[in-house]
Amino acid sequence: MRGKEKIIEIKHLTKYFDVGNGKVLKAVDDVSFDIFKGETLGLVGESGCGKSTAGRTIIQLYQATSGQVIYDGEDISQKKSAKESKKLKKKMQMIYQDPYSSLNPRMTVHESIAEGINNHEEQLSQREIESRVYGLLESVGLTKKHANRYPHEFSGGQQQRIGIARALAVEPEFIIADEPIAALDVSIQAQIVNLMQDLQLEKNLTYLFIAHDLSMVKYISDRIMVMYLGSMIELAASEILYDEPLHPYTQALLSAIPIPDPRMERTRERIILKGDVPSPINPPSGCRFRTRCPKAMQVCSEAVPRWQEVSENHFVACHLYDLEYISLVVD
């Protein structure tokens, strides 16, 4: 359920880290995609593939090495004045992975949630801020009683809800959720995800949901993007990605999801990738996945696969589907 209006366009986003000795860690390498207003875009990939870095670069916690982040028509990756960047911060917020360390242990819940409000609306009185904080607590399923307690007095799920309330305090339009449920029990994960969906409807939010739990990502996302070692490799609507994965990596990822039926789980054939993930400091030439790909060909080591729309709204970066290459080979 999304309109066709774009809320954010990421163009050729790159983030390299200098790791000394002239070596460079290519955490995010030329990533481009759009997010539409009101949708949830899932971003999946294994640990170290650059999804968290991408999220943090988009939200300007890291300075992008190159590329543009265009929010509501404005390029926000350029250096901004303090006032302008403050305005932006109202519109984009982030929910973090570790619920406990995302809250200052020395601040009460009230203070943590009110921080954003205090930054952007200094003119509000204490009572107004208090009632806003209570309202936010209620909207995430907590109560007034929780307001003057400290983070360590809560469970992980509750802490994450406080984190969500804090992000909502500045009334953003776009929220990047960086693995928000990875540190929680499965049953609590469900609660949080349901809460996030309810809030999305209520407040017209757009989400970028970064995760590595594929089943959960499918539940919450409209479209899903897969990353590997800093590059995008596939992007499609959730159902389609799961029913017809094109890229060999996506196929392997999906085959790793356990099936609830023990009989089927025992007898099915799993795609198991050989080898380890290469280092992002020295990624393989051509297609980064070729060292582990069961379908690697000669061309994969020579040329970087192009990002192409193979079927409607289904993009993939793989030589197997590169029509030009296929025609060349056939000839």
Binding site residues, another protein, CB under 8 A: 56, 59, 61, 85-86, 89-90, 92-94, 96-98, 101-108, 112, 115-116, 119-120, 138, 141-143, 145, 148-150, 152-153, 163, 166, 169-170, 187, 190-191, 194-195, 242-243, 254, 259-261, 264
Place of tokens 């009230």: 110
Minimum CB–partner distance for residue 81 and another protein (Å): 13
Please give the full DSSP string across 183-207, using - where no structure is assigned: TS-HHHHHHHHHHHHHHHHHHT-EE
Looking at the Cβ atoms of 61 and 329, the one nearer to another protein is: 61
> How many CB atoms are closer than 10 A to CB 187?
8
Q: Residues 18, 22, 26, CA angle at the centre, nearest 5°?
A: 45
Minimum CB–partner distance for residue 230 and another protein (Å): 21
- The helix/strand/coil state of 32 is strand
Looking at the Cβ atoms of 8 and 300, the one nearer to another protein is: 8
φ and ψ at residue 40, rounded to 5 degrees: -115, 115
Looking at the Cβ atoms of 231 and 238, the one nearer to another protein is: 238
Minimum CB–partner distance for residue 276 and another protein (Å): 26
Minimum CB–partner distance for residue 34 and another protein (Å): 22
Q: Are 258 and 272 in contact (CB under 8 A)?
A: no
Looking at the Cβ atoms of 67 and 163, the one nearer to another protein is: 163
Supply the DSSP symbol for 176.
E
Closest CA to 204 of 58, 36, 329, 87: 36
Looking at the Cβ atoms of 158 and 231, the one nearer to another protein is: 158
**Calpha distance 149→107 (Å, rounded):** 9
Looking at the Cβ atoms of 106 and 274, the one nearer to another protein is: 106
Q: Tell me which H or E stretch contains 210.
A: strand 206-211
Minimum CB–partner distance for residue 33 and another protein (Å): 21
Place of tokens 């793989």: 318
Minimum CB–partner distance for residue 108 and another protein (Å): 7
